[in-house]
Amino acid sequence: MMKVRYSLLLLFFFLIITSCQTSKLSKLLTNGSVEQINFNKIIPFESNRNWIIVEAKINNSSKTYKFMFDSGAVTVISPKLAKELNLEIKAKSKVGSATDVRRVTPFTKLDQVEIGGINFQDIGTAIMDFNASVDLGCLGAEIDGLIGANLMKFAIWQIDFKKKTLQFTDNESNINIGEKRFEIPFTHRGQATPKLYFSVFGKKVKASLDTGKTGSIGLKRSKSFKNVDFEHDSIAAIKGYGVTASGIFGTVTDTTYKVLIENFKLGTLELDTTFIDFAKRSSNLVGNGFLKYFKTTINWKTNKLILEPTEKRPKSTFVSEGWGYTLNKNKLEIVFYYENSPIQRAKIPFGSQVIQVGDQNFENVSTGDYCKIRKLGRLYPKEIKEIPIKLKLPDGTIKTIQLTKERLL
């Protein structure tokens, strides 16, 4: 599992229709086709904080747009793009997100989505604003929408995180699958997001395959886990508080547990250990933080996910500064920490402002500068293990502590 840096918020896109679908909306989301037959394409993708970003043309446009490849969502475009293309609203429905928020959302239809010269036709599409939070606003400035599962289902896709390429075809014989592979069956319905099944703490879990999630595996602390004492000595876990996630409908404040799970099985894949995050206001998701160590093939024809290891997964240890921040009126403010992290031990309250890290001043941070920090993923060079950080507490007190990367679990 990847070592999550909580100096940034965990971001993800996971959308699902939550209200009863009208026949019009159901038709929008299940219809569609591909113009070409016997196609086989390999295109490069941009990897931005574990997201997969590809280029596409819409409705025979000469202009190229950027989209996130997101199996946990329906296809989405921004209101700006919908206006630019003069698209008509075809239906409305309540949509839920990974941040456990639901909103009525308009839907339209894209006559054509061209990816790598292949034309996907009549694709039902939600219209959503990416500026629900400053954190997602940074990504919204870079993309025009999401390529969702309701489009993906018309092809077989192979994601090579190592080469940063995306292969898609309508013939599985075009996909090269090595002997060392793990097969995981999945189910799907409606918007076509793949659903995976596994057991944790003796409970059967259904989780969505979500290539819009930057993290690894996250589960909702639902009724299934109400009798699990995450703070019991027999469970290797660390507790966190504060803003745990930022999704398309805003941020979430929650208590979360990062838990070391032993003997984890997913289909034919068996791992000695892996980390899973549990939170009340979350959804069951398997994200790119888990998939990135594999060449990943998603086949909607056979309903199988195939994982081929491309690099050795690091040892399951959680090394982190143990804190999170966001931008509030040009101020970097602390909004999250793990128990026994340097920030928590120093009793730094939420809302404290980051003034300076090392010799770099952060007293006044523009949105543009914040987005650059987010893209970089850190406030100081990654090779530095310990650095002084100057903070302004909510009562105006100035305090300096040593910020260190530590093994928290």
DSSP conformation letters of 152-186: HTTSEEEEETTTTEEEEES-GGGS---SS-EEEE-
Q: In this structure, are 162 and 20 located in the same domain?
A: yes
Q: In this structure, are 20 and 166 located in the same domain?
A: yes
Which range in 3-12, 78-87, 320-329 is most confidently predicted, on average pLDDT? 78-87
**This prediction's pTM:** 0.90
Q: In this structure, are 200 and 158 located in the same domain?
A: no
**Rounded Cα gap, residues 182 and 171, in angstroms:** 20
Strands (E), 310-385: 319-320, 323-328, 331-338, 353-357, 360-361
Which amino acid is residue 315, in one-letter code? K
Residue 12 pLDDT > 60? no
Q: In this structure, are 246 and 208 located in the same domain?
A: yes
Q: In this structure, are 51 and 134 located in the same domain?
A: yes
**Rounded Cα gap, residues 246 and 14, in angstroms:** 11
Is 176 inside a domain boundary?
no
What would the pLDDT profile of 211-229 be if each residue is shown by its tens digit?
A: 988 889 999 988 789 889 9
What would the pLDDT profile of 276-311 be if each residue is shown by its tens digit?
A: 999 988 889 999 999 999 999 999 999 999 999 998
Residue 7 pLDDT > 50? no
Which range in 150-164, 273-287, 313-327, 368-382 is most confidently predicted, on average pLDDT? 150-164
- Local confidence band at 312 (pLDDT 50, 70, 90 cut-offs): confident
Is 5 inside a domain boundary?
no
Predicted confidence at residue 71, as pLDDT, reads 95
- DSSP strand pairing (145-147 vs 65-69): parallel
Tally of domains within the chain: 3
Q: In this structure, are 163 and 243 located in the same domain?
A: no
Predicted confidence at residue 294, as pLDDT, reads 96
CA 351 to chain centre: 25
The tally of CA atoms less than 13 A away on the side-chain side of residue 7 is 23
Predicted confidence at residue 252, as pLDDT, reads 78
Domain CATH for 38? 2.40.70.10
**Summary mean pLDDT of the chain:** 88
Per DSSP, the chain holds a count of helices (H) and strands (E) of: 7, 32
Q: In this structure, are 114 and 242 located in the same domain?
A: no
Give the structural domain span for 118. 13-171
